[in-house]
Amino acid sequence: MKTKLLTALLLGTSILGTTGMALADDVTLNIESWRGDDLTIWKDKLIPAFEAKNPGIKVVFAPSAPTEYDAALGAKLTAGSAGDLITCRPFDKSLELFKKGNLADLTSLPGMENFSPVAKSAWQTDDGKSSFCVPMASVIHGFIYNKDAFDKLGLKVPTTRDEFFAVLDKIKADGTYIPMAMGTKDLWEAATMGYQNIGPNYWKGEDGRAALIKGDQKLTDKDWVAPYEELAKWKPYLGDGFEAQTYPDSQNLFTLGRAAIYPAGSWEIGLFNTQAQFKMGAFPPPVEKAGDTCYISDHTDIGMGLNAASKHSEEAKKFLSWVASPDFATIYANALPGFFSLNSSPVKMEDPLAQEFVSWRGKCKSTIRSTYQILSRGTPNLENETWVESANVINGTDTPEAAAKKLRTGLDSWYKPAK
């Protein structure tokens, strides 16, 4: 079955590829991607914009199914039939391709200077010396709230943790709305929308993350246990039977207007805009005291690299430089609200909710999810364990200390930080 699909895919792309070449004498660049959803955006907006400025270069966007992407790409790279441009998954999967020599070094690509070190971190070698993909987009964590509900109950958007819990208490006392729409059934909600959402404020974003990788901090340190202590306090504010509430359940509870606050990732914006019948707003994870520096999870999610075996690497580099430019960022971020450009130059976006999310970059410090770089390479896998333990903490089956201890023991068993 799998191989059949694979051959079908390979056949399909090879036909696409040949028709593309037959069209013109121009150079044709093929883009490998798993984002089939973005096909129309590429075809109607991004590629025409590039081709208008660069006559002689044709670009074909050829996505494959997300679950097949890594396997199909691997097979094509080995066979030498992969496209010139390769959409990069963050961290280890792309790093592996770079180490195998499939991805070209892009450290000196014009346009790379448009990105901050955090933005580039997902596609760099561990020492940060070489970059191999142009960062395209990130997703930001925070809380989306039902503005109508807040107005009705006379609530103010919370900025500190005390205010946050006061708001939750008021919603709960009123009883019309479920205070917070989140479930623990799918596990990752608890970890991604919970722990990684509020955590950076405790471990001070990049500082804590770097210290953890260096080995200066441990997962049982106060800064890493405290987010679990806050998560444990969320339990009474979640809906009835949240233990069996799945991710789509949470989305529906919120968009149907039954819940007031939704711990979110910005990728929800597109869906929520079409489904919710009420006004929405967003706020970043509350800080301890008013005036504290805030930290947000601005997680690098998608990038683009150059196939080292490409026959048209000059043209492909031209394209990548364009991907690194503000022009691309503006089109991309507006076509896909919630997937934010990582470009340092600010991008003007139309969507108010997306604007709100991205405005936090100005006042807060950005970081990425703590478990993604380096720390999830071994067994037990830290990211998976974080899912399980975050759900346990909210369910009340593990104390924050016990959860942190399990994570630390698991990580220590294989991870020896370089001294």
Partner 1 sequence: MATETMAAEKRAKRPIRWHVGVFLAPAVLVYTAFMILPLFGTLQLSLFRNIEQSQVFVGLGNFRTLFGDPNWSVNFWNALRNNLWFFIIHMLVQNPIGILLAALLSSPRLRFTAFYRTAIFVPTILSFVIVGFAWKLILSPIWGVAPHLMDLVGLKSFFTPWLGKEQYALTALSLVSVWQFVGIPMMLIYAALLSIPDEVIEAAECDGITGLAQFWKIKLPLILPSIGIISILTFVGNFNAFDLIYTAQGALAGPNYSTDILGTFLYRAFFGFQLQVGDPNMGAAIATIMFLIILAGVCVYLFLVQTRLRRYQF
β pairing state of 27-33 and 85-88: parallel
Burial 118-132 (b: 16+ CB within 10 A, else e): bbbbbbbeeeeeebb
- Out of 51, 148, 186, 207, name the contact with partner 1 by CB under 8 A: 186
Q: How far is the CB of 162 from partner 1 (least distance, A)?
A: 30
Q: Is the CB of 149 or the CB of 358 nearer to partner 1?
A: 149
User: Peptide bond preceding 48: is omega within 30 degrees of 0, i.e. cis?
Assistant: no
Q: Does 417 bind partner 1 (CB under 8 A)?
A: no
Q: Residues touching partner 1: how many (CB under 8 A)?
A: 38
From 4, 274, 379, 419, residue interacting with partner 1 (rule: CB under 8 A): 379
Query: Hey, which residues between 223 and 282 contact partner 1 (CB under 8 A)?
Result: 239-246, 249, 253
Using the rule CB under 8 A, is 189 a contact of partner 1?
Answer: no
* The pair of three-digit structure tokens given for residue 190, joined into one six-digit string: 């608890």
**Is position 380 an interface residue for partner 1 (rule: CB under 8 A)?**
yes
Q: Report if residue 399 touches partner 1, rule: CB under 8 A.
A: no
Contacts of 264 (CB under 8 A, 6+ apart): 141, 142, 143, 144, 193, 282
Site membership for partner 1, residue 51 (CB under 8 A): no
Q: Minimal distance in Å, beta carbon 296 to partner 1?
A: 21
Question: Considering only 48-56, 145-153, 330-338, 371-379, which stretch makes contact with partner 1 by CB under 8 A?
Answer: 371-379
* Residues 301-340 interacting with partner 1 (rule: CB under 8 A): none
- Buried b / exposed e across 54-64, counting CB within 10 Å, b at 16+? beebbbbbbbb
Determine the Cα–Cα distance for residues 317 and 216; give it in Å rounded to an integer.
39
Minimum CB distance to partner 1 smaller for 92 or for 351: 92
The least CB distance from residue 252 to partner 1, in Å, is 8
Q: Give the one residue of 381, 402, 405, 408 binding partner 1; rule: CB under 8 A.
A: 381
Helix (H, G, I), strand (E, B) or coil at 244: helix
Residue 196 near partner 1 by CB under 8 A: no
Cα gap 166→160, rounded to integer Å: 10
Smallest distance from the beta carbon of 188 to partner 1, in angstroms?
Answer: 8
Alpha helix (H) residue ranges in 30-146: 39-41, 47-53, 66-79, 92-99, 117-120
89: number of Cβ within 10 Å: 22
The identity of residue 137, as a single letter, is A
CB of 128 to partner 1, least distance (A): 20
Contact 35, 321 (CB under 8 A): no
3-state DSSP helix/strand/coil % of the chain, to nearest 5: 50, 20, 30
Give the x/- contact pattern for partner 1 in 67-106, rule: CB under 8 A.
------------------------xx--------------
Q: Which of 28, 131, 197, 392 binds partner 1 (CB under 8 A)?
A: 392
Q: Which stretch binds partner 1 (CB under 8 A): 289-297, 337-345, 360-368, 410-418?
A: 410-418
Question: Does the protein bind partner 1 through residue 412 (CB under 8 A)?
Answer: no
d(CA 201, CA 187): 22
Which of positions 156-185 make contact with partner 1 (CB under 8 A)?
183-185
With beta carbons less than 8 A apart as the criterion, state whether 394 and 183 touch: no
Q: By the criterion CB under 8 A, which residues form the site for partner 1? A: 91-92, 183-188, 239-246, 249, 253, 371-372, 376-377, 379-384, 387-388, 391-392, 395, 397-398, 410, 413-414
